[in-house]
Structure 1
Amino acid sequence: MDNYIKTLFVQSHSGDKDERYEAYQKILTITNEKVDWAYGVWNQLVEDLTHKDGHQRSRAAQYLANLAISDPEMRIMDDFPKLWQVTKDEKFVTARHSLQSIWKVGIAGDAQKELVMVAMVDRFENGTDEKNYTLIRNDIIQNMRNLYDHYQDEEIKQTALELIETVEDAKYKKKYLAIFK
């Protein structure tokens, strides 16, 4: 890992809000492609999933989700439960940002895609007792759309449409269907 990347990670923890945000944006952009330094930060990111600061938890989750494509050892398969836990964070904004990035784990390979899809289907079906569950469901369907766009896998689309079909509230059913139009 070069000094530029190390500096970005330091800045993403810094006290200056603008510097932190700029570093965050750059890290997300860089990690949209495969990198060879993922394991240089991996353990720290896993540890940061339980950081006392919600912003740190959210960033760690988003970085790990992005780094799944740079994980030839498939560590994400073991660390996914910790990452998924952040999607249920007590701070809703932390949970939501984490959930909105979780689909990126699914583009790392078939096993990762299956892992993410199983978790999302279960949450969609069994998460109606959660606060803001309609927003969570929206994010899950959007994640499935993102995976569908990446893979062009009709099974993903079919799963999403079957889930949407179970929604009783016509307003939300229409909203979720619009994601796949």
Structure 2
Amino acid sequence: MFDPTIFDNLKTVVEGAIYDLDISDELITVVDRSDVVDLAKFTRAYALSFQLRHAHEVTCTISLAMTLQHIANELLYEDVTHAGCTVTVSFSFLATDVDGDDVEQTLKHIWGEHHIILQTLTYTYGQNERYTHEVTIDFGRTINESHVDDLLHMIPYIIRSLEQLQRYAT
């Protein structure tokens, strides 16, 4: 029989909460899902992407990742304080002219000052004047089953972020 890891349990919680917003509440639409096992590096990665049902300009992706070290810490009891996985929340949208400071302040107002907010702009030369603006919130720590409530409490912050970032998308 298969013994689920912390990663598997957290993935189930995230997936259930997001699909409830899609199917039951009809607040969002899931647009992509990825569940990757890399046997060469022995890593796991899970990502679930979704948009507000009434506004498709901004996409949110919740990602969970587990490295070889995470699983070794869990299964071999090497360092149980670092057993688990990492979580990131990212938002992407097309834009023509966005002040990155405004975007950062908008998200810090929602999420708080203590989270790491990274912004990446991608532009393909000669194709058009719009670029992809990606904003990632990195929580900078390993999470485990004791953080299930934290994951569920993030959902209103994510929805509010999706709503607020719509004004920057073109």
Work out whether the TM-score is over 0.5: no
Scaled by the length of structure 2, the TM-score of the pair is 0.24
Higher helix share: 1
Quick one: higher RCO (CA 8 Å, sep 6+), 1 or 2? Answer: 2
TM-score (norm. length: structure 1): 0.23
Give the structure with the higher percent strand: 2
